[in-house]
């Protein structure tokens, strides 16, 4: 079995406000693992069933696994070819971000989406809100 017993079925839910790339990352990861390891038919089917359950629990259509699985090898080849490209970061806020970044599609710049809702930002906020005590 590829998936460890400690693995949870929690991935970014389909109804969250995140870029599709981030939502599909876990599904691509699971598909890649299934196709990377040399599994017999029974083992492979068991892994596929587990991944489909994870996908279903997070409100995705299970047919998504088939589409992403077919593109896994193509994606790996593409990532190797594009390692030296320049990237720009945009904070993802929804459709507006897609509209703006769509204009960069035909340039040499590649777009990466970030979010303000992350652990680092939360910790920075807590750090600035600490009360300061006088030494008197």
Residue 58 has a pLDDT of: 94
Of 117, 109, 110, 111, nearest in space to 93 by CA = 117
Q: d(Cα 58, Cα 14) in Å, to the nearest integer?
A: 6
84 C-beta neighbours (distance < 10 Å), count: 5
Burial of 54 (0-12, 13-18, 19+ CB in 10 A): buried
Contact 90, 113 (CB under 8 A): yes
pTM to 2 decimals?
0.54
Burial of 51 (0-12, 13-18, 19+ CB in 10 A): buried
What digits encode the pLDDT tens for the residues 24-83?
998 988 888 887 788 888 988 998 898 999 999 999 998 888 787 666 656 666 666 666
């Amino acid at each position: 079995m590829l998936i460890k017993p400690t693995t949870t079925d929690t991935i970014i839910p389909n109804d969250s406000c995140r870029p599709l790339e981030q939502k599909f990352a876990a599904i691509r990861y699971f598909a890649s693992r299934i196709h990377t390891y040399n599994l017999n038919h029974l083992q492979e089917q068991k892994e596929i069933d587990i991944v489909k359950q994870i996908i279903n629990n997070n409100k995705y259509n299970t047919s998504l696994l088939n589409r992403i699985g077919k593109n896994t090898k193509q994606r790996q080849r593409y990532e190797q070819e594009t390692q030296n490209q320049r990237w720009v970061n945009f904070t993802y806020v929804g459709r507006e971000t897609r509209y703006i970044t769509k204009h960069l599609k035909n340039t040499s710049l590649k777009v990466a989406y970030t979010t303000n809702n992350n652990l680092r930002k939360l910790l920075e906020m807590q750090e600035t809100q600490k009360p300061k005590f006088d030494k008197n």
